[in-house]
Structure 1
């Protein structure tokens, strides 16, 4: 007899953790603010207890700072953090490019689809969605490398990547068009099968983003 297993609904802590990452920690406008626990609890329909549990998890990841008697603080990213984020991204993405090309399986179609979605988004009001697709473009490459632990590590950078990316798009005139061009160069290098060219295109893209971010840090 086959026993049907129903999907397990996420706990209140899991819902709060995901909500905070996507709606607070990925939002540059939240930098320098304290998180209102009751406001979050009301928005997702849970008590404050799972909110606090989620904040402890986020503090362990250094995404928020827990200040005694004041609460959870979303600190602006420092120049050091931005530099380390881009360095880590470069290491992971270059490795993924090399691995996928060695197998002859770069995810060109999935990356092209993400780039086309990005290209249809313009203006400040769509900056977060533009950067969400930016992350998708890069994460398709990383996921295709076949290393699940590395993919999970990269996915853990999502909140920081989106926050930093939105700041970059807002801070530099023409940055959206530049990002699209840099992504196109990465795709062309992958399509050519040239691992060195792909690594160089990835480095050029990340270095350009880093320069913009350091100018605003």
Structure 2
């Protein structure tokens, strides 16, 4: 916050550490951080509380991937744990939840079940942001159906630094170069052409 950022998003998604605590397919602990849903949510709750102490609840968000499997780790039944997470984070007053749920025909990961975001949205009092495989039409439809308050774009922004202008103009999108992600140098990051 001293560096001037507007807020902090806790990354509790994609099969990484916090997500591993949530998932019963990876969390085999028998202490206060394992077993029951309340215990598996405890680490996320404590980390979020620590961030809130610095940033404030209104400047704290959390990213989740409420899908069945992500990066080799699995939930047997994601529904109850994510409703519990949503209620816990609502009680803490966080500003937003970002939910990355690839569709069943996703282009960067695919779900093995329909999205769970609607149940999470009902349990969370705050801004809900959806992410994964959205283009302008799908995003507008989701917003118009009140499935979310906003849509986040990741991969399209890598290849289209002028993404809002392209959406507004109905212009075609440049394709990202996935083989260059996480490489050194500007190629695949800074060399995508802007609209003429």
TM tier, shorter chain? under 0.3
| TM-score computed with the length of structure 2 as normaliser | 0.25
| TM-score computed with the length of structure 1 as normaliser | 0.23
Q: Which is helix-richer, 1 or 2?
A: 1
Larger Rg: 1
Q: Whose RCO is larger (CA < 8 A, sep 6+)?
A: 1
Q: Which is strand-richer, 1 or 2?
A: 2
